Structure formats: structure tokens, C-alpha cells
Structure 1
Amino acid sequence: MSSQLPTGSGPSPRAASSAWRRLILRIVLGIVLLGAALVGYALIYPERMPAPIGDTVENLTGLNAHPVKLQRPPVAPLSAVAVLGRDLFNDPSLSASGKQSCASCHSAAHAFSPPNDLTVQPGGLHMTEAGYRPVPSLAYLYRQAPFSIGPDQGDTDAAPVSLDTQASAALGVQRAQKTAGVAPAAPAMVPQGGLFWDGRASTLQDQALGPLTNPVEMANPDLASVADKLRHSKHIDTLRQLFGPHVVNDPNLLVSEAMFAIGRYEFEDPAFHPFSSKYDAWLEGHARLTQAELRGLRLFNDKDKANCAGCHLSQPTSDGLPPLFTDTQYEALGVPRNRELAQNRNPKFYDMGICGPFRTDMARQTQYCGMFLTPTLRNAAERKTFFHNGVYHDLKQVLDFYNQRNTSPDRIYPSDASGKVQKYDDLPPQYHANVDVADAPFDRKFGDQPAMTDQDIQDIIAFMKTLSDGYKD
């Protein structure tokens, strides 16, 4: 019998080690491929990922981690009435000078704002009169409600309530603090809606009517003069066809129908509300924000920093309507007096917004003196004048005002002969209490650190440039 031991048939230690290495490599490769697939999926569909992962993808790529489908106004051919309104909007013959149309101050090529960098626009019989206020944009007004005070009444059938009654009901109600991204705990008992800086027009039709008889704008002496111009205009046959042959017999009705047509044009034509900015594309997941733009957006929405979104709402509505970047409410900000305006050469003149002098029905409601409509910030980066008196001419100046009004007022307002800073110098002293000191960044005190750094301001401006229409990928 042989004493030799049998030879083992298993792998050698070296072969076994090699097999284990190959297995480990396959596992590692599988994990890497799975991770790469997960990263790729997260990049393509960040909205389907858990919030922390989606936010990380947003930081890395600039893509919106939570894209939405915006519900823009439907695009359709203009009605016959709107076509007439477009023709009237562009017709200078309706002015006393024969040189000024609606489009002269509301240029379609400039987001329906002025086509120049003048603080106020010239007008009047000889086009030599200076306007009272900077011309606001006519864009994005299609969802503007009529002027009211108190919580939104919605589509109720209740009997109309006078503004004096509304104001009296709101008197003594503590003003709701405006915080970006947070709904007020109580109904906003504040003025809201309306058109012009002081809300004195309730509809686009009313707004179109105002400049016709303003002595520093289209300067017609009265509506009868406007009606006479319409009767002798190239539009008269169309007016008869659309509103009946007898419309020419009633001057007030003739003018009213013409202004209704202009209002329809502003409502129907998508050029007034295109929602074609880079930010709109980003909201829908079709554009990437740069790192500066992304930082600016977050500062814009930061309730403790810029808090811009407290008044300039930046999120789509619950039913997908694009944000208008205004809450359509009124604020007293205490901007410094613009001494370049003709009417301000009179030291006793004050433009106090809701309570006058251009609006007269709210003169007794002095708790609203100094309040002006919050404008949309869409296309604001293209504007050359800001606030109701046009005292500032670029976004850097505007943001410096917000940042330093309370912390360093000497950088914002002039000083008197004794060296005392004349804070809120464009509002009579008895109404200074109306000025907002509760909402950030106005909640800072003298000598405090400002809410924003210079870099913050540059980033916010970078973001605000994404609100300009006409973005192309």
C-alpha cells in the first residue's frame, strides 16, 4: 500500500485571492455604476429625489430642483375690440399736442415703460411740461384687482362698501408683518389693488382715461375734446361698427368705449404679460441659474436678509399662475425727496400717494399718507427710474436705500444746517409713523450691521436681471 498522500483538487491560495479580488472589483464597479446612474437620474429628475438631494443638485447645476408647469394666459388672436385698442394706443392724434400717444410713454420695446432714461416724461400742449411722477410699466397688470382696503373680497355678491367705511374698519388693526415665504397670521388690513402709483384707477379702462386730460400728459381740456378727436379720427367707422351707430352721439360713451378697447388690448395681447424671463424658464426646469443668480434668489427670499419676497412675491400661485413679483399692496418706505422734480421746488408740496394730492377720495385717511403701490419687479433691471418720485436710477442705489435707510441714514438723506439728518424728508413729520420699520431689512436700528453685504447686493441684482423678458436659451 502506498504511503503517498492524495493531491488536493482545490485552488491554490494565490488563485483564490485573485478570485476574491475580481469579485470585490465587480462589486465596487457595480456600486460605482449604480451611483453614477443615481446621480444621472438626480440630475435629470431632481424633483423626484428627496429634498436634500434635490437641493444639492440645484446647488451643483443651477437647475430648479422642483420645476413646475406655469399656467400662462392663453395665446389667441386679438378680438376686434382689442385690435381697435391697439390702434388707439399708438395714435398721437388723441393728444392736444398731436405728438403723444399711450405708446410714447409705454413703449412695447421697453416692457411698456418709457423708452428713455428721463425721470419723468414730457407732455402738455407743447410737449414742454414735465410729468409729476415716473411712468410705471403697463406690463403684468392683467391680474390687478380694483383698489380696496382689508382682506381680499373675492367674487362675492355682497353690497359694495365705501372706501371710507373700509378704512374706518381697518383703523387700529395692527399691520400684518411681511415676511418672505410666510403668509400673514391675520388678514392684511391694508390698501391693495388699483392702478397708478396711488391706486386711483380701478380698471385698465380707467387707467387709459387718466392721461387724456392730465395737463402735463396728453393735455386735452376735457372729455368732450377727446370725443371730438375720436369723431374726426380714422377709427370712427370701427367704433360705429363695434359699438353701434349711435355711439358718436354721446361724448362720454364714445370716450368710454374707446378706453374700453385700449383696456382690452392691454388685457388680451400676450406682449403685456409674456412671462418669458430666464426665471420663468428656470421655474419650469428649462434654464440654469448661475451661482450668483442662485445666491441672489435665496437672498431675495431670505426673511432675515433682503426679504424682497415679503412684498414682491416670487413663487407661483397654488394653481400654477406665474408670480407677478408684487403683492399689489401699498407701502410707506420713506424714500428721500427728489429735488429735481418741478413740483418739489415748492417746499410745502408733498406727494403723499393714497391720501393726495392727485388722488382726492382718500384725503381724510391720513394713516395711509406716504403709501404707494408696490410695483412688479419683472423687467425692473431694464428701468432707469425707481420709486414714485424717481429719486434713484439703478438697482444698486435702490438696494443701498433698503440696506442703509435705518442703519446709516446720513448716507440716504440730507442734513440741515445744524448737521441733523432729515430722515423721511419727502413726507410731513406728522405722517412719519406710517413708514415701515417692522419688516426686514427695515427692522434694523441706527448703527446696526446692515442686512446685506455688498456681495449680497450684487448677487440680488444678478438674480433680478433674470426677471427681464425675452430670455433665449
Structure 2
Amino acid sequence: MKRVAVLLFIQVSMMNVVSVSAEEIQQKEKISLGQQLFFDVNLSRNRTQSCATCHAPDKGFVDHRGKDAALAVSLGDDGKSLGDRNAPSASYAAFSPPFHQTKAGVFAGGQFWDGRANTLADQAAGPPLNPGEMGLLDKVSVMARLQENSQYQAAFKGLYGEAIFEQSNSAYAAMTDAIAAFEKTDFFSPFDAKYDRYLRGEYQLTPQEDLGRTLFFSQQFTNCNLCHQLRALPEQQEETFSNYEFHNIGVPANTKLRALNGVTQSDNGLLNHPNVDDVAQRGKFKTPTLRNVAVTGPYMHNGVFSDLRTVILFYNQYNSRSAKRQINPETGEQWRAPEIPETLSRKELETGPALDDQRIDALVAFLKTLTDKKYEY
């Protein structure tokens, strides 16, 4: 009897091993397919643009193609369309939760600056059909492009079933699912920056970086971690440096960009989300991750600031009475008025004292420790 029981146990254990292995193999195949799709320019109307065009892996997963004011946004596949928002980094995007309201009633999560895509797959569904981006006409057109590739045909059928190309909606959903699987890998979120290595005891922060770290997580000297801390406690593993909540921090319109793209309307931010109709949300944007922030400028949702130090000085103006701190160092003029002034998150913005140059430079130094290892050199 014991012998039979042992044999049954071995059989069940072997079945579990086979089952897990099959799932792992399938997931690896899905990730491989997603990787091919992410870099495939054939998924744009004129075959010039892929996901990686605006989320370049060697540039912190942002778009560095433009020059001067055009660097703030992305050029479409048609060679002339310019957006009005800075392409968010795809690095660590997998950690943004689905769009929701917190217990305090604050909107948080989702993808894009306004959270309108609930998941990574939903986000991946947007650009191919956006006329100002990849520009394909419809899902049928996308499916036709996919079927041009015999490797895609085999991979899609193997992962999603022989009938996957019978319905364009199904094929399109499978495509975005595979891309999302790739975006969830360590390729996008390695957690190997100097800061991560410091947490593991593999790197010693410089005195300046350490001061910046202390200031960043302080409840007394800065307001940084009110919005840029995900974990309940500071210095936790896999901190993405965003709580993904939406705020209006008073960013001015990017007038130089508007002169290029011809946009005349204000960007309403969160109010553009299809499920948000509360005017109190106008002008609010999702708090971005600070991972790789040192290599992913220009900054803010419209790319209005070029330098990371300028961003900290912009925040500092809310807490400083100094005339010097009311000047934008990039223009030599006073900080321009917010594009949407009515809904500022004043509680968060006005928390903490003014910062001197030593502390500002220390914060910049600390933020540079959040750069993934592959961008350090």
C-alpha cells in the first residue's frame, strides 16, 4: 500500500513539474513574441515607427529624436504630426496599478499621463491606431500586417489558438497582451541602480548622495516623498518612487512647443479620462516614476523643463520667499503661471521649508542614483 502511495505521489509531482514547465515555456514564448512586436516598425502605417521608437531602450525608454522644443514630444509615423505631451518612460510602467480612486478619494494609477489606459495591454492598444502616432487605420489593418509575417502567424496560433486571426479584435488583443508580457520583464525594470545596490550593501553612497537620500525621505525638510514614494516605509526594495496619484503641480504651458504643433487648447489632464467628469480634476496628471529621471528629460507632462535641477527649483518656488527662487534658470525670467491654476495641489506643494543650493544639489545627486546600471556610463 505504501509503495502504491509513493508511486502516486511521484506521478503527481512529475505532472506538476511538467505543468509548471509548460507554463514557463509558454510565458517565455509570449515574452519573445512581445519583444518582436515592440521593435516592429511594420506595425505603423508607413513602416517607420515601432513602440521602441518613442520608448527607446537605450534612452531610458523615452523619445530622444527631436531637437530643441520638438524634443519635448514625439513625431508621428506620418513625419509631421507632433504630440502635445512628453512620452512617459516605459521603464517600471508595469508597477502602476489599474486606474482607481484611493480610500481618500484621490485618483491613481492607469497608464498615460491621464490614466486613460487601465493596464499595460490597454496602453499598448493605443499608439498603433492613433493617427498622430503609428497611424494604422483599424484593427483589420493591424491584423493584416501581423499576417504578413510567417513567424507571427505560427507564434500567435501556438499561444492563442488556431482561430486567432479569424477575428481582428481577438488578434489585436493578443498582440497587446504579448507586448504587455514583454514590458513586465526585468528588461524594463531591473532594479539595479546605485540606490538598489546601496540597499543590498553593494554600493556606498557619497556624502552628497546620502544627504539627498535623507532629505528625500524626510517628513520635515522636503515634500518629495508625499507623492514619490510607493512603499509604506522608506528604503524598501523595489521602490518605484511614485504613488501614481494625480496632481496639478502648476506646470506652465510649453509655449515653444505649441508654436510648433499648433495646439491652442489647454491640456485638461485627468479630466480627459473618459470616466472622469469632475472639473476639480482638471489639470491633474499622474505622478511619474523617478526611476531613470536623470536620463529621461525633458521634464513634466509637456517637456517644458530641460534640466533636472530646474525641476527641483520649480518645486522650491512654492516654499521660498527669495526673489532669486522666483526665477526660472532656463529662461532668466519669472516662473510662468500654471496652465491650469484653479486646481493646484497646494497642500502637497507647500509642505516643507525652502531649500538652499546645497540641499538642492544633494537631491539632484540622489536622484541620479536611481539610474539603471546600463545608463550609468
* Bin for the TM-score computed over the shorter chain: 0.7 to 0.9
Which residue of structure 1 aligns with residue 186 of structure 2? 270
User: TM-score with structure 1 length normalisation?
Assistant: 0.67
Summarize the alignment of residues 49-448 of structure 1 with structure 2, pairs less than 5 Å apart: 79-116=28-65, 118-124=71-77, 126-151=78-103, 188-234=104-150, 235-267=152-184, 269-313=185-229, 321-342=237-258, 348-356=264-272, 359-362=273-276, 364-405=277-318, 407=320, 411-412=327-328, 423-424=337-338, 426-427=339-340, 432-440=341-349, 442-443=350-351
CA contact (8 A) 2:196 2:237 kept: no
- Superposed CA offset, 1:147-167 (max 9, x none): 01132xxxxxxxxxxxxxxxx
CA distance in 1: counterparts of 2:210 and 2:102, whole angstroms: 35
CA positional deviation for 1:127: 2.0
**Alpha carbons of structure 1 residues 292 and 116: separation in structure 2 relative to 1, 3 Å:** farther
Unaligned runs of 5+ in 2: 1-23
Unaligned runs of 5+ in 1: 1-75, 152-187, 414-418, 445-449
CA positional deviation for 1:387: 0.8
CA distance in 1: counterparts of 2:129 and 2:355, whole angstroms: 44
**Alpha carbons of structure 1 residues 248 and 213: separation in structure 2 relative to 1, 3 Å:** same
CA contact (8 A) 2:89 2:296 kept: no
CA contact (8 A) 1:97 1:127 kept: no
**Alpha carbons of structure 1 residues 437 and 316: separation in structure 2 relative to 1, 3 Å:** closer
**Alpha carbons of structure 1 residues 378 and 213: separation in structure 2 relative to 1, 3 Å:** same
Secondary structure of the structure 2 residue equivalent to 1:390: coil
Report which stretch shifted further, 232-241 or 88-97.
232-241
**Alpha carbons of structure 1 residues 258 and 468: separation in structure 2 relative to 1, 3 Å:** same
User: TM-score with structure 2 length normalisation?
Assistant: 0.83
**Alpha carbons of structure 1 residues 421 and 123: separation in structure 2 relative to 1, 3 Å:** closer
CA distance in 2: counterparts of 1:320 and 1:403, whole angstroms: 26
CA distance in 2: counterparts of 1:347 and 1:263, whole angstroms: 31
CA positional deviation for 1:306: 2.6
CA distance in 2: counterparts of 1:463 and 1:318, whole angstroms: 14
CA distance in 1: counterparts of 2:263 and 2:54, whole angstroms: 28
CA contact (8 A) 1:316 1:323 kept: no
**Alpha carbons of structure 1 residues 435 and 316: separation in structure 2 relative to 1, 3 Å:** closer
CA positional deviation for 1:133: 0.9
CA distance in 1: counterparts of 2:234 and 2:86, whole angstroms: 33
CA distance in 2: counterparts of 1:451 and 1:420, whole angstroms: 17
**Alpha carbons of structure 1 residues 299 and 421: separation in structure 2 relative to 1, 3 Å:** closer
CA positional deviation for 1:227: 1.7
Which residue of structure 2 aligns with residue 34 of structure 1? none
**Alpha carbons of structure 1 residues 392 and 420: separation in structure 2 relative to 1, 3 Å:** closer
CA positional deviation for 1:339: 0.7
Larger Rg: 1
**Alpha carbons of structure 1 residues 452 and 223: separation in structure 2 relative to 1, 3 Å:** same
CA distance in 2: counterparts of 1:218 and 1:346, whole angstroms: 20
Report which stretch shifted further, 251-260 or 305-314.
305-314
**Alpha carbons of structure 1 residues 346 and 304: separation in structure 2 relative to 1, 3 Å:** farther
CA positional deviation for 1:420: 11
Structure that is richer in helix per residue: 2
What amino acid is the match of 2:343? N
What amino acid is the match of 1:145? P
Which residue of structure 1 aligns with residue 354 of structure 2? 451
CA contact (8 A) 1:336 1:412 kept: no
**Alpha carbons of structure 1 residues 198 and 343: separation in structure 2 relative to 1, 3 Å:** farther
